[in-house]
Amino acid sequence: MLTKTQIDAAIRDCQGETVLNDGNRNKGEGSLRLRIRRTSAGVNAIWFAHWKKAGERGKKQLGRYPDMTLADARTKFGDDIRPLVKSSPKPKAAIEFKGEAPTIENLFTKYVAHLKARDAGSAGHVENVLLTGKFNAADQLGRSKLAGDVTPSDIRVPLTAAAKRGALRTADIQRTYMSSAFGWAMKSTNDYTQDVTYDWGIVVNPVMAVPKDKRASKERSRNLSPEEMAAVWEALTDEGSGDCARLVMLCGQRVQETIKVDGCEVDTKRALWTIPAHKTKGRKKPHFIPLPAQANEIFKRLKRWHGDGPLFPARTGSKADRMGFLAVSHHIASLTCCAPFQARDLRRTWKSRMGDGAGVDRFTRDLIQQHAKGDTGSRVYDHADYLPQMREAMKKWEKWFERNVVKKQQHKLAA
């Protein structure tokens, strides 16, 4: 039988992949195992139930360690998996579906579980919109309604209600998430690579017949001038939200990627910030950002305070907790008398001033902001890291920023 000490030691020493068996010796009842794997994003440990029945092997993911403790994994395996492995001639189907009806509630629940299993950053928001929020789609469509019976007229109900409340953006997001859920159900039903699939009874995605509201999505163009940047830079504090905003101005990365940075991801000696794959929007590859000197100094100070852990520890909770950072833009705008702006406008400002100010070509700017290499030629054939080119670009940006943002405000104050 496994112990917590054995598990923690195996995680600490893992260099590739290790599988620990909890030691069930009762033939025909399956076994509980912990798969430990080192990836580019770090070490992860996942509980699986394994079994062999009628010459066929199967497995089911139960949860992640340490979120699911050893005791919790044993309880789940003993209560939910072992009885079905013993009694069912086809354990996989019995475990996966347990006789559940293909209702709206079950469809949305399974879809959210699918997102969480993939560590999708949007999983929590999708769950809120579809299942748990005040105006969730499941309640408005009817939780017990069969997914295959939903029509475009049914889809219009929650969207119309949101539009009447004036929540056009909310309606658009809800439409997108419902479409994704129904699309996932259709694909999972017809996935020929799986031995066991579940028929949700959906022939056509009903959301696709409901057009998008073009009023709901407006492209923003707000970006700060060098004078506004200088005023904002001076008004920001040297801690918390202020440091985070300054790093977005300097490095051009996404707000949430900046908020979630850990000290161990920043090499101040090499002036290099590495965003692990699981923290990037694409979640496929780590991203490397050469640091301008001003950003490197901020990271040095933050690492002295927080070490290798979260550099913005107050921003590591729920999305609602982290989004407090966004309020800084409204506060700073009022202090500096510049036009209102949003936190993400600082990322657009970086892209714009890096081009027309520092003179960096668009391809290099796209590389630094994770916008390049999306075409087939780049994804399949181009595996250069372009790090020297990005370093040179950041050197230009560092000089421009010092001259037009940092020193300009200092000279203004001195005068």
Q: Write the CB contacts of 374 (distance below 8 Å, at least 6 apart in sequence).
A: none
Q: Give the whole-angstrom CA distance, residue 24 versus residue 18.
A: 18
Report the range out of 92-106, 298-312, 397-411 with the highest average pLDDT. 298-312
The fraction of the chain above a pLDDT of 90, given in percent, is 55
The residue among 111, 166, 180 whose CA lies nearest residue 135 is 166
Average pLDDT over residues 224-229: 93
Per-residue burial over 3-40, b if 16 or more Cβ lie within 10 Å, else e, is eeeebeebbeeeeeebebeeebeeeeebbbbbbbeeee
Gap between the Cα atoms of 99 and 184, Å rounded:
20
Q: Which helix (H) or strand (E) holds 374?
A: none
Q: What average pLDDT does range 113-128 have in this prediction?
A: 88
Phi-psi region of 223 (alpha: psi -120 to 50; beta: other; left: phi over 0): beta
pLDDT tens by residue, 341-352? 888 899 999 999
* Domain limit, last residue, from 63, 82, 97: 97
Q: What CATH number corresponds to the domain at position 37? A: 3.30.160.390
Percent of the residues in the chain that have a pLDDT greater than 70, as a whole number: 88
Which tokens is 256 given? 């949430």
- Domain-embedded: residue 376: yes
pLDDT at 335: 61
Shared-domain flag, residues 186 and 233:
no
Instruction: Say yes or no to pLDDT of 201 above 90.
Output: no
- Per-residue model confidence (pLDDT) at position 67: 92
The per-residue pLDDT for 99 is 60
CB neighbour class for 141 (10 Å; exposed up to 12, middle 13-18, buried from 19): buried
Q: Within this chain, do residues 264 and 360 fall inside the same structural domain, yes or no?
A: yes
Q: Name the domain boundary from 97, 132, 163.
A: 97
Run of H or E residues at 33:
strand 31-39
For the stretch 359-398, pLDDT in tens is 999 999 999 999 887 777 777 888 888 999 999 999 999 9
Q: How confident is the model at residue 132 (pLDDT cuts 50, 70, 90)?
A: very high
State which H helix or E strand residue 89 sits in.
none
Answer whether residue 217 is part of any domain: no
Helix (H) or strand (E) holding 319: helix 319-322
Regarding predicted confidence, which is higher, 8 or 342?
Answer: 8
* CA dihedral for 213, 215, 219, 224, sign (positive or negative): negative
180 shares a domain with 108? yes
Cis omega before residue 66 (within 30°)? yes
Give the integer Cα–Cα distance in Å for 153 and 278. 38
The answer as to whether 215 is a domain residue is: no
Length of the chain: 415
Question: With 80 as the cut, is the pLDDT of residue 25 above it?
Answer: no
Cα–Cα distance for residue pair 108/181, rounded to 1 Å: 6
219 domain-assigned = no
pLDDT value at 318 more than 70:
no
CA-CA-CA-CA torsion sign (391, 359, 277, 326) = positive
* Statement to judge: residues 233 and 159 lie in one domain: no
**pLDDT grade for 261, boundaries at 50, 70 and 90:** very high
- 86 vs 389: CA distance, rounded Å: 60
Helix (H, G, I), strand (E, B) or coil at 262: strand
Residue 197 sits in the same domain as residue 232: no
Hey, what long-range contacts does 174-178 have (CB within 8 A, 24 or more apart)? 174/129, 174/130, 174/137, 175/207, 175/210, 175/212, 177/126, 177/129, 177/130, 177/137, 178/130, 178/137, 178/207
The more confident residue out of 52 and 109 is 109
Residues whose CB is less than 8 angstroms from the CB of residue 167 and which lie 6 or more positions away in sequence, other chains included: none
Residue in this structure with the two tokens 């859920």, named with its chain if needed: 181
Q: What whole-number distance in Å separates Cα of residue 174 and Cα of residue 168?
A: 10
> What confidence tier does 41 reach under pLDDT thresholds 50, 70, 90?
confident
Residue 334 belongs to some domain of the structure: yes
Same domain, 235 and 346: yes
DSSP 8-state class, residue 208: G
Indicate if 272 and 256 belong to the same structural domain.
yes
Two tokens at 78?
Answer: 């003993």
Q: What is the pTM of this model?
A: 0.66
Domain membership of residue 187 as a residue range: 104-209
- pLDDT-based confidence at residue 330 (cuts at 50, 70, 90): low
220 occurs within a structural domain: no
Do residue 163 and residue 262 come from a single domain? no
Comparing 196-200, 231-235, 284-288, the range with the smallest average pLDDT is 196-200
Residues 254 and 354 in one domain: yes
User: The tokens of 189 are what?
Assistant: 């039903």
- Examine the domain organization and report whether 85 and 124 are in the same domain: no
Helix 241-251 crosses helix 327-336 at what angle (to 10 degrees)? 90
Give the pLDDT of residue 333. 62
pLDDT tens-digit map of 183-195: 999 998 888 887 6
The neighbour count for residue 348, using CB atoms within 10 Å, is: 18
Does 148 lie in the same domain as 28? no
Asked if residue 321 has pLDDT above 50, the reply is no
Mean pLDDT calculated for residue range 254-261: 90
Number of structural domains (the chain) is 3
- Predicted confidence (pLDDT) at residue 68 exceeds the cutoff of 50: yes
Within a domain: 352: yes
Rounded to the nearest 10 degrees, the angle between the axes of helix 226-235 and helix 241-251 is 150
> Is the residue at 191 inside a domain?
yes
Average pLDDT, the chain: 87
Residues 59 and 128 in one domain: no
3-state helix vs strand vs coil in the chain, percent to 5: 55, 10, 35
Straight-line distance from the first to the last Cα atom of the chain, in angstroms, rounded to the nearest whole number: 74
CATH number assigned to the domain comprising residue 304? 1.10.443.10
Give the pLDDT band (50/70/90) at residue 217: confident
Q: Is residue 363 within 8 Å of 372, Cβ to Cβ?
A: yes
